[in-house]
Amino acid sequence: MKKQKAILMEKVQLKNGLTLEFWDESKHLVGDRWYVGVRAMVAIAIPDETPDGFVEDHLQVLRNKLGDKVYFQLLEERNFIPEEEVEELKKRLRDVFLKNSLTYLSHPDFSRRFLLVKSEEAYKKKLMGPEYLEKFLEDLKGPPSNQGRA
């Protein structure tokens, strides 16, 4: 099956200055059936200076492996959806995500808390071994290179 590009559906500016992006990763399966995937992503900058409350070694694991950003992301997906229901389902997945997560993502301290937790987890995974760290970091990496702008 041919890999289709993910398409940016929408950007939502959050009250805390972050940007929430919705990506459509849907693809045709067979006949009139579709895989529907909607990914919500928020890029979070990794600061150059280690903020108060952070352990430098923990944050450095993320910097070394991911550069200057980590990503909060959640993929909502459904399989074997009739073609006539695809657009409505994408809208519904987006709306449910916003209803359930907008307050959390918009919190003024969201990026700090997210970075603190993920840097601590990354350090623990590093101590367990490189394969554990690599698997953990997959969810924090940026968008795949096959994504395009709408």
Look at residue 146 in the predicted model and tell me its pLDDT: 46
Place of tokens 């995937």: 37
**Distant-in-sequence contacts of 68-71, Cβ < 8 A, 24+ apart:** 69/43, 69/44, 69/45, 69/142, 70/43, 70/44, 70/46, 70/114, 70/115, 70/118, 70/140, 71/41, 71/42, 71/43, 71/44, 71/139, 71/140, 71/141, 71/142, 71/143
| Three-class secondary structure of residue 104 per DSSP | helix
Contact status, residue 33 vs residue 80, Cβ threshold 8 Å: yes
Indicate the pTM of the whole model: 0.89
Residue 2 has pLDDT above 60, yes or no: no
Per-residue pLDDT for 1 more than 80?
no
Domain residue spans in the chain?
6-148
Q: Which of 30, 9, 18 is nearest to 104 (CA)?
A: 18
pLDDT digits (tens, 9 = 90+) for 100-150: 999 999 999 999 999 999 999 999 999 999 999 999 999 999 876 545 544
Over the stretch 14-30, which tens digit does the pLDDT of each residue have?
A: 999 999 999 999 999 99
Residue 150, pLDDT score:
46
pLDDT for the residue 70: 98
pLDDT for position 142 = 83
**CA 97 centroid distance within chain:** 13
SS3 52: coil
Beta strand ranges found along 4-149 (DSSP E): 6-13, 19-24, 27-30, 33-45, 69-82, 147-148
Model pLDDT, residue 149: 47
Amino acid at 7: I
* Tens-place pLDDT, residues 40-81: 999 999 999 999 999 999 999 999 999 999 999 999 999 999
